[in-house]
Structure 1
Amino acid sequence: MKKLIVFISFLSFCFLSVQAQDNKANAAKLNKQAEAAYHRVQTNTNRDSLTVYRAVVDGITYSLKCEEYDRMPNRKGKMKTEFGEQNMLRVTTLYPMLIDAGQFLLKNSYTKVEGQKALELYLTARNNPMVIDIPDESGIAAYYLAYDYLKSRNFRMAEKYADLAMQYEETAQASVEVKAECMGEQMKNAEDSLQYLAVLAKLYETEPTNSKYFSWLMKFYQHSTARFNIESFIDHQLVNDSKSAVPWILKGEIAMQAGRWDEAIEAYKLADELSPNLIPVAFNIGVCLNMRGLEIRNEVLEKQQQGELISENDYMIYFADARNYLERVRAKDPRRNKVDWVNPLYMAYTLLGDKIKAQELEALTNKFKK
Structure 2
Amino acid sequence: MKKMMIAAMMLLGTSAVFAGDSEPLKAILKAKTFAEAESLLKTNLSQLANAAEKAAAYNKLVDLAMDKVGKEQAVINSNQMAVQFKQGKVEAYDTLGFYNAVYNAMNNGMLGNAFDQQPNEKGKIKPKFESSNSNRLYNIRPQLINGGQEFGKKENQAEALKYFGLYVDSSEDPLFKGIDKTKNPDQYLGEVARVAAVYAFQNKDLERANRYCDVAMKDTAVYKEALNLKMYLMQQGLKTKTDSLQYVETLKGIYAKDPKNEQIFATLANMYGSLKMASEQTQFINDKIAQDPKCFSAWALKGQNAMNANKLDEATSSFKKALEIDGENVVVLTYLGFTINAQAGAISNDAAGQKKLYEESTAILEKARSLDPNREKANWSYPLYQCYYSLYGANDARTKEMESLNK
1:97 and 2:151 are equivalent in the alignment? yes
Describe the SS at the equivalent of 2:63.
coil
Supply the AA of the counterpart residue of 1:280: V
Q: In 1, Cα distance between the equivalents of 2:198 and 2:384?
A: 40
Aligned partner letter, 2:314? E
1:316 match: 355
Residue in 1 that maps onto 2:120: none
| 2:262 paired residue number | 206
- CA spacing shift, 1:118–1:331, aligned 2, 3 Å: closer
Deviations 1:76-111 (A, max 9, x none): xxx744895331266867764369544xxxxxxxxx
Number of residue-to-residue matches in the alignment: 286
Paired letter, 1:216: M
User: Structure 1 pair 261/199, CA: closer, same or farther in 2 (3 Å)?
Assistant: farther
Scaled by the length of structure 2, the TM-score of the pair is 0.53
Shift in alpha-carbon separation, 1:162–1:126, aligned structure 2, 3 A:
closer
What's the counterpart of residue 343 of structure 1?
382
Q: Distance in 2 between matches of 1:27 and 1:229?
A: 61
1:171 aligned onto 2:226: yes
Contact 2:296/2:325 (CA < 8 Å) preserved in 1? yes
Partner Cα separation in structure 1 for residue 351 and residue 313 of structure 2: 19
For 2:284 and 2:248, locate their aligned partners in 1 and report how far apart those are by CA, in whole Å: 13
SS in 2 for 1:284: helix
- How far apart, CA to CA, are the structure 2 residues paired with 1:159 and 1:89? 26
Change in CA separation of 1:142 and 1:313 when aligned onto 2, cut-off 3 Å: same
Alignment of 1:26-37 (within 5 A): 26-27=34-35
Match of 2:287? Answer: 236
Cα offsets for 1:325-362 (capped at 9, x unmatched): 11122222334332232222222111111613223444
Q: Which residue of 2 aligns with 1:218?
A: 273
Name the % identity.
Answer: 20
Indicate whether 1:292 and 2:355 are aligned.
no
User: 1:21 maps to what in 2?
Assistant: 30
Alignment of 1:187-206 (within 5 A): 196-197=251-252, 199=254, 206=262
Give 2:397's aligned residue.
356
How much does 1:205 deviate? Answer: 5.2
The answer to whether the 8 Å contact 1:146/1:160 transfers is no
Cα deviation, 1:117-168, whole Å, max 9, x if unaligned, reads: 974564015688xxx99x9654133145468466xxxxx7664344235354
> Aligned in 2, Cα 1:136/1:214: closer, same or farther, shift over 3 Å?
closer
Distance 1:181 1:236, change over 3 A: farther
Per-residue deviation at 1:245? Answer: 2.8
Structure 1 unmatched ranges of 5 or more: 32-66, 103-114, 151-155, 301-310
For normalisation by structure 1, the TM-score amounts to 0.58
Unpaired runs of at least 5, structure 2: 1-11, 40-57, 73-93, 104-145, 171-186
Alpha-carbon distance between aligned partners in 1 of 2:323 and 2:337, rounded to the nearest angstrom: 12
Is the Cα–Cα contact under 8 Å of residues 168 and 212 in structure 2 kept in the other structure? no
Question: Secondary structure of the equivalent of 2:375?
Answer: coil
Paired position in structure 2 for 1:52: none
Query: Measured at CA, do residues 278 and 207 of structure 1 come closer, stay the same or move farther in structure 2, by a change above 3 Å?
Result: farther
**Residues 205 and 312 of structure 1, relative CA distance in 2, 3 Å threshold:** farther
The alpha-carbon distance between structure 1 residues 71 and 82, as it changes in their structure 2 partners (threshold 3 A), is same
Amino acid at match of 2:304: E
Q: Write the distance in 2 (CA, Å) between the matches of 1:361 and 1:294.
A: 19
The answer to whether the aligner puts 1:124 opposite 2:166 as a matched pair is yes
Q: Where does residue 110 of structure 1 map in the other structure? A: none
1-structure distance, mates of 2:401, 2:309: 32
- Report deviation, 1:252: 0.4
Superposed CA offset, 1:275-334 (max 9, x none) = 32333222211111122223333xx3xxxxxxxxxx422322221111011112222233
1:18 deviates by 4.7
| Aligned residue in 2 for 1:250 | 301
Q: Matches of 1:350 and 1:21 in 2, distance apart?
A: 89
Q: Is the 8 A contact 1:350 1:358 kept in 2?
A: yes
Match of 2:63 among 72, 79, 98: 72
CA distance in 2, matches of 1:145, 1:89: 20
CA distance in 1, matches of 2:161, 2:69: 29
